[in-house]
Structure 1
Amino acid sequence: MNSRLADASVDAEERSHIENFIWDERPPQSGLDLYAQRLGNGPVTDFDDWQNRHRNFTAEEINLDAEETKQPWTFRADNAINRLRQIDPRINLVRVEDADWLCESTGIAPETLREQIAKFQQGDANANTFLTGIVKSWNAERDQRPLFATTELEITDLINDNPSDWADRLRDQLGLGHYSPSPGRPIEIILMRYTVQEVLDSLDGDGYPAMPTVLDSGMSPYFFPCPIPDPQQAANPYYGHTVNLALVEKQDDYTMGVELLHPRIAYKPEHFFKMGVIARPVEMPLARARTFHLPWLQLDSGRDDFGGGR
């Protein structure tokens, strides 16, 4: 991997994946051993081969069917060191979901869903019945993959200010680069809101969230591993930090977002929070965002050596 990083012809996306796997300190050895096992025998021939082998790992150990009795690797005892056992159960979490996928799978229009959510939030009993049916169908289709979420506190100002492009800005703040629409093809999203306590109640009361690592999901160039902080300078964080994709020219104008992983919970009508439309493609160059992100991460953790001390 180090030789690929030294190759100037490697593009920003592949470089990001290599950096993530080299820099991530958090996966325990047992997780790395399992990953190596699932990657199979023989050298990785190229980037596509690596991605395919990684997909095999996530299919077998992360994105498990709802009927599977075992839990995703993220929430097994082997990964206990990355579980967030001191998190306040009263905190509200917010997750971004793809409304287009939900509407297509349930046969409803986004406008209908938006209308029913608004009526439900005003106490309409018929809307409650409608949304109960929607989440019942939705929950039946969802697997056990760990869910990325942020805290409501992290996005409160943006939600309260409610600018017309709030969904674009939220996408940027949370580093959700896969939500980058083509011109004229906006992406509908739903914000789902629930408490940490609801998450803790999953997995028979052991649903503690986790710090994200490279092993917990599909490969994404927008992910950035969070270092183990210097115990003399910084406390172990409750959250990972997202790569902010807001277009800025200077490092001083860059801010990190917040993320964590938690077990699947069954959605309820009261979890529907807000719907929006992402209309603008990602404008921030990936390499610039990651270059700005690293020094802030080093400062936050007291780890100037993280990321090779770059």
Structure 2
Amino acid sequence: MNLSAPLHSLASDAAATLEGTTARCAAANFRWEQAVSIERADEYNAYAGDVTAHKEWQGEHKGYLRSFVQVAKDHPRASESFMAVSSMAHLKEDLDNTYLLRLESLDRMVNSALLGSAIGENFWLRFFNSQKDLRKDKLSGADENLRSEFVDQWNELREQARPMFATFLNDFGGDLNAFVKTDWPHTLRDRLGLTHWPSMPAKPLPVALLCYTLDEVRQARLAVTKKGAVASFSRPTVLDTEMSAAFVPAPLLVGGESYGYTLDLANTGAPAAFTPELLTFPIDYLPKHIKALGFISRAHALQTDTAVLDARNRHVRGLQGLPDCGGYGEVLA
């Protein structure tokens, strides 16, 4: 993307290498990003200002996300990810309707009033050992009331209308009932590159599997008529997420189906295929969206800077193997 002179200097590999592997990888992401428009880049450059150090840049980046991307529900404008200024990253609006998967950490809820409340505790006790019931569109009597009350409180806790990272059920076999019988918490954590969820056996991370449709996303956007959103789906860019060594921007492909491609934490070779990732316009969860509950109880494989850098380089080599992408990015020696 086009960077201002101060950011261009900080984003150089020579400058970023001095700050360590994480900063080096994050800086490379800005050099490689192809899906940020000049208009949005100018806005970002103006927000960051004349930063002179990587730590200062990281602080301004977080501020930008809070102001333009991870906006509050009562904010007068939608997240910039879905505004016209981000049109280079937008996906086709008429994508065929299909099912999306999203992995949600419940850790914040455990530490909040929700899972500590009678409703949260009763929900977990009722459904963790009877998860087939979660996959029923409608339950009877008290069970449906419990599920609905839990989801209503969860939606209340979701104070931001931030973009929702998701992937396609079809890329995980297409059969939800079969998928939930697998080790889906670790599979999704690894396939989606969620390095910030490195849970250990001593402290398992509770997670929920959410499933919703593209049509539901489109309906949610169309229902919000006064916030300026022009797209329901977008690919993730460096301006839509925290600075991260685990995020690698994908080449911008033609045709309106240029998804993000996540870094597989468990892959030990150059990937022959990639897990697609997209941002969806935020929706309120419905009881039927919760399909399974589980725990992440073991750490992922990328626990050292060397492991992270090697995995990223393998991923980049795979991206360079895509049609017309031979010159994309760079392998960081």
2:316–2:329 CA contact under 8 A, matched in 1: yes
Q: Is the 8 A contact 1:72 1:146 kept in 2?
A: yes
Matches of residues 92-107 of structure 1 in structure 2 within 5 Å? 92-105=99-112, 106=114, 107=116
* TM-score, normalised via structure 2 length: 0.82
Q: Which residue identity is paired with 2:312?
A: R
Distance 2:322 2:134 in 1: 41
Cα deviations across residues 267-297 of structure 1 (Å, max 9, x unaligned)?
Answer: 0001011122111112132111111111211
**Worse-superposed segment, 86-95 or 101-110:** 101-110
Could you list the runs of 5+ residues in structure 2 that have no partner in the other structure? Answer: 1-9, 224-229
Paired AA for residue 245 in structure 2: P
Instruction: Give aligned pairs, total.
Output: 302
Residues 1:119 and 2:97 aligned together:
no
Q: 1:163 to 1:128 in 2, by over 3 A?
A: closer
Task: Judge conservation of contact 2:233–2:279 (CA < 8 Å) in 1.
Answer: yes
Change (3 A) 1:117 1:291: same
1:50 to 42, 57, 62: 57
Corresponding residue for residue 16 of structure 1: 25
Structure 1's unaligned 5+ residue stretches are: none
Aligned to 2:301: 283
In structure 2, the partner of 1:27 is: 36
Per-residue CA deviation, residues 139-185 of structure 1 (Å, 9 max, x unaligned), is 12211111100001112379626566432122111111111113411
Higher mean alpha-carbon deviation, 79-88 vs 206-215, is at 79-88
What amino acid maps onto 2:135 in structure 1? Q
Structure 1 residue 211 displacement after superposition: 1.1
Letter in 1 for 2:139: D
2-side partners of 1:161 and 1:91: how far apart?
Answer: 16
Note if 1:241 corresponds to 2:261.
Answer: yes
Aligned counterparts, 1:219-238, within 5 A? 219-229=243-253, 235=255, 237-238=257-258
Residue in structure 1 matching 2:171, options 154, 157, 162: 154
RMSD: 2.5
| Match of residue 68, structure 1, among 75, 87, 102 | 75
Q: Deviations over 1:180-203 (max 9, x none)?
A: 113411111111101100001122
Contact kept? 1:298, 1:305, Cα under 8 Å: yes
Change (3 A) 1:174 1:87: farther
Distance change >3 Å, CA 177–CA 202, structure 1 → 2: same
The more displaced of 79-88 and 112-121 is 112-121
Which residue number corresponds to residue 291 of structure 2? Answer: 273
- Are 2:311 and 1:296 aligned? no
How far the C-alpha of 1:124 sits from its partner, in A, is: 2.8
Is residue 146–residue 217 contact of structure 1 (8 Å, CA) maintained in 2?
no
For residues 226-274 of structure 1, the C-alpha deviation after alignment (integer angstroms, 9 at most, x for no partner) is 1123x6xxx55342100010052x33x6652220001110100010111
For 2:128, what is the secondary structure of its paired residue? helix
SS state at 2:173 partner: helix
Alignment partner of 2:101: what SS? Answer: strand
Conservation of the 8 A alpha-carbon contact between 1:187 and 1:278? yes
> Partner amino acid for 1:129?
N
Q: CA deviation at 1:52?
A: 0.8
**Deviation at 1:88?**
2.7
Cα distance change on mapping 1:183 and 1:86 into 2, 3 Å: same
Quick one: structure 1 residues 103 and 2, their matched pair in 2 at CA, closer, same or farther if it must change by over 3 Å? closer
SS of the equivalent of 1:267 reads coil
Q: What are the superposed Cα offsets for residues 29-50 of structure 1, whole Å, 9 maximum, x if unpaired?
A: 111111112213x3332x2211
Q: TM-score, normalised by structure 1?
A: 0.88
> What is the percent sequence identity of the aligned residues?
25
